[in-house]
Each structure stands twice: as C-alpha cells, then as structure tokens.
Chain A
Amino acid sequence: MVDIQNLHKKFGKNQVLSGVDLSIREGGIFAILGPNGSGKTTLIKAVLGMVIPNKGEIMVLGENIKKNSEYRHKIDYLPQIANFPSNLRVRELIKMIKDLRKPTDEDQRLIELFRLEPFLDKKLGNLSGGTKQKVNLVLTFMFNSPLIILDEPTTGLDPISLIRLKDLIKAEKAKGKTILITSHIMSFVEEISDEIVFILEGKIYFKGPISELKTKTNQPDFEHAIASILTDNHA
C-alpha cells in the first residue's frame, strides 16, 4: 500500500526524518506515534507530497509519488488544523471539494451522522472548533478512497461525536481500507489500531501490534509502555 525507503528530510538545520524505512500493507488501522516534534506530521505530509523529501523514495499503491498528483485521488486526508476560507458556507465548501475531486453522495450520510444539517448555511468563519472538525471529517470521508490518513482526528470533538468517529473508522476498516492515524490520545489509539508505528528522533523505533510493544518494554499497559520508551531514550 505505502512503501517508504530511506526517507530523509531536513528543515533548515533541523534534521526531522533521518532514514525512515516503512512498509504498510493493505487493510487495517495503523497508528503513527511519537513525542512532539518527532516527525509524524512530516512523514504523513511526505506521503501526501506536501513535503518534498531531501532523499528517499515513496510509493503509494505501486506509484512513485514524485512529480505526480494523480495518486492523491486514492487518498483521503484529514489535516490537523481545520481552517477554511471564512467567507464560504459549509454547503458551498462541500460542493467545491466535490467539484475539485469527483461527484459523491456519501456526504449526505456523513452530514446526518455528525448532525451538521443546522450548520450547512452558516459561514465557516462563524463555526466552533469542534464543528469545523466535523466538517473536516465529512470532507475526508466522503470520497471512499482506499487509503485514509487522519492527523489528530479527535481534536475538539465531543464524546458522542468521538464515538461516532470510532464507529466510522471501524466501518471503513471493515471495507478493507488502509487507515493511518496520528494521535496523542493513547486510549483512542489502543482501542482502535491494529498496529502501531513509533517514531523517535526521525527513525522508526518500533513497528508492530500493541501486545508486542508491551512484552518488549515489559509493561502491563500501553500508556506505560510508551512512557517507558520515552524515558529510556531520554534519560
């Protein structure tokens, strides 16, 4: 599904990714974890072609992504901060993204799922953070692409919406899709992901199921397992 080889990225003097090798198979939910500034978002953005690597190769569904924009038809991406043009109405934004990508009817179902009907004619500038995030989720999930990338999907969501989001992610997984998630909420990650990819100092430190991480670190629960990696490496 996604194959990354020897990926290097530097921002100025700051080496963010130094030789990432990662291969993600088709189907399942993969959580990308790591401390702040470890390069999670950079890695995701490199897959999306938003960050241009200094070195290395990325293949998405067998296509090299360099100088290519067509492969993004197969990716749905949820950005970390949802900020839309404040002059637009929700309805117009959804219509516009459909116009830019392809026609779909999925949006109706998602709008109902997240109870967005009352906001459809409001301007995006007047929406609360959580509502914006819901609009963001609708935009992401409406295209039914085989690869879904979610950067901090839980930001600003209330408990009910969070449950709906989890159900939605599980339903997408049942369709055989590949889902990449970054999150700092460990309970969410533990509940939902099949495998985790732990990034530390620009390299893949661990890749595998959560149970394996627990045995490797000798910790009974997931949160402590993550914490022990961090303390061992920073002590």
Chain B
Amino acid sequence: MLKILKYSFFDLMRSRWSYVYFAFYLLLGVVLLFLNNDLSKAVITLMNVIIVLVPLIGTIFGVMYYYNSQEFTELLLAQPIKRSSIFLGQYLGVALSLSMSLILGLGIPFVFYGLFESSAIWDFSLLLITGTFLTLIFTALAFNIALSNENKIKGFGYAILLWLFLAVIYDGLFLMTLVLFEDYPLDKLSLIGTMLNPIDLSRTLILLKLDISALLGYTGAVFKQFFGTSFGLVVSFFMLTVWVALPVLRIVFKSKRKDF
C-alpha cells in the first residue's frame, strides 16, 4: 500500500491543481493577516472559510482523481497487489497531498507572522487538524461515490449534491426542525444532529476550543453544557474519527466486490 501511496502522492504533487490549492491558502493566509492584524480573529475567519471549502475541494478532487486514474487502476489490478492496498493507497495519496497543501499554505504565513510567540497557536493547530480531518472524511466519501458510480457525470453530480447537502441544506433543515419543535426538549436531538454532520461537528469543535459563546449557537451551547469543554472536545474528535473510519471501511468492502 505504501508504494501506491507514494506514487499517487508524487503524481499529485506534480499536478498543477495542488499548487493552485496551495497558492490559494497562502494568499488567504497573507491577506487575512494583513487585514486583521489579530491572530485569533484571523483564525475565526479562516474557520468559516475552511469549513465550507475543504469539504468541497476534498469531494471534487477525490472524484476527479478516481475517474482520471481509472485506466491506471486497471493496470495496477493486474499486478500482484491486493485490491484494498490499491484503493487505500490512492485514497491516502489524494487526502494527504490535499492536507499538505492546506497545512503548508496556511501555516507558512502564520509562522512568519509570529505564530510561535502567540497564544493562538493551539487554536490554529486545532484548525489545521480539523481541516485535515475534513479532507480525510470528504475524500473518502468522494471515493465511495466514485466507486459506486461508473458514470462520471452522475458521480460528479452526487459528489456536489453531497457537499451541498452537508454544507448548506443540512443546517437549514436542522434549524427548521428546531423551530418547528421548539415546544419539546431538543437537547438530545440537536446533539445527535450535530454529530451526524462532520461539517457541523468541526464547527462546534473549533468554537468550543475558541470559547466564544456568542458564536456557539444553540447546538454549541447544548454541546458545551452536556459534555463540558474538554470532554466535548474528546467526544467530537472521536466522532470525527468514526466519520473517517466508516467511509474508509466501505472503500475496502466495495472495492473487493467490484468488477473492472
């Protein structure tokens, strides 16, 4: 698996899009720091961008990479390599190169700005860790969609819909449920609702750490009240790990049964 991972990773590192993605974050980091002059405020703005953008890029890149490397995958399938190694290797190659673009692109301007002397270093690290988790989750979801759909257009369509649903529609539905059933106790429901969406989960996780009650919202408040700050962090990290593990397991399962 490591060999496939290595080749997928280097293949992507040489592609133009990795640099575009890297350059975008670099620019974003620099601009935010110049405009804000305040590390912790920049971290909050970044959070809002990352939480929407990282899943989008993860899904699109994941689906694109899978479809683009289909013929090459066939070449690999005829070699004495296990199927799970091929697909996990490719998946990790995509996810790691995207995470690296994110970490380096944002990290470099922040380091130059004096991150290491700042108290915001933990908040910032948490932001990058969450970003990496989101990349891992959404690339895995994208691979799942691509594995289940031979038709590229359909695959792309489902991938975009998935992102749209989790990033935008889910929140709307969630809010509507809360408003509709406001007469009932909603603590448990909103807790579960948050955990079922990795984007919401990441947002709550970061806001818990930043400890800004004004931005926490209802679910965040419930989360904090229910778990407390530190246990809340542990629970949300655990849930993010589950969110990575389930799609990855399905990649292994699905790829073993697929015809090429």
Contacts and interface: CB of A to CB of B under 8 A. Distances in A.
A and B: bona fide binding partners: yes
A50 B71 contact: no
A69 B72 CA distance: 17
A88 B11 contact: yes
Given A45-B260, A50-B259, A100-B76, A85 B81 contact: no
Contacts of B71: 79, 81-84
A100 B11 contact: no
Interface residues of B, number: 23
Contacts of A71: 80
B82 interface: yes
Contacts of B78: 48, 50, 72, 75, 77, 79
Nearest to B258: A52
A42 to B, nearest CB: 8
A174 interface: no
Contacts of B14: 87
Given A83-B71, A85-B72, A88-B11, A101 B259 contact: no
Interface residues of A, number: 28
Interface string A50-68: 1110000000000000000
A232 interface: no
A48 B72 CA distance: 15
Interface in B219-258: 257-258
A29 B122 CA distance: 66
A79 B75 contact: yes
A96 interface: yes
Interface of A: 11, 45, 48-52, 69-73, 75, 77, 79, 81-85, 87-88, 96-97, 99-101, 139
Contact of B72 (A50, A72, A84): A84
Contacts of B119: none
Contacts, number: 59
Nearest to A53: B259
B191 to A, nearest CB: 41
Nearest to B14: A87
Contacts of B151: none
B259 A11 contact: yes
Nearest to A9: B259
Contact of B79 (A51, A52, A72, A84): A72
Contacts of A88: 11
A181 to B, nearest CB: 16
Contacts of B79: 72, 97, 100-101
Given A69-B80, A79-B74, A84-B75, 7 more contacts: A45-B259, A45-B260, A50-B74, A70-B80, A81-B71, A100-B3, A100-B81
Given A69-B83, A70-B80, A87 B74 contact: no
B76 to A, nearest CB: 7
A72 B258 CA distance: 18
Contacts of B257: 52
Contact of B15 (A75, A87, A97, A99): A87
A83 B259 CA distance: 18
B80 A48 contact: no
A51 B259 contact: yes
A69 B260 contact: no
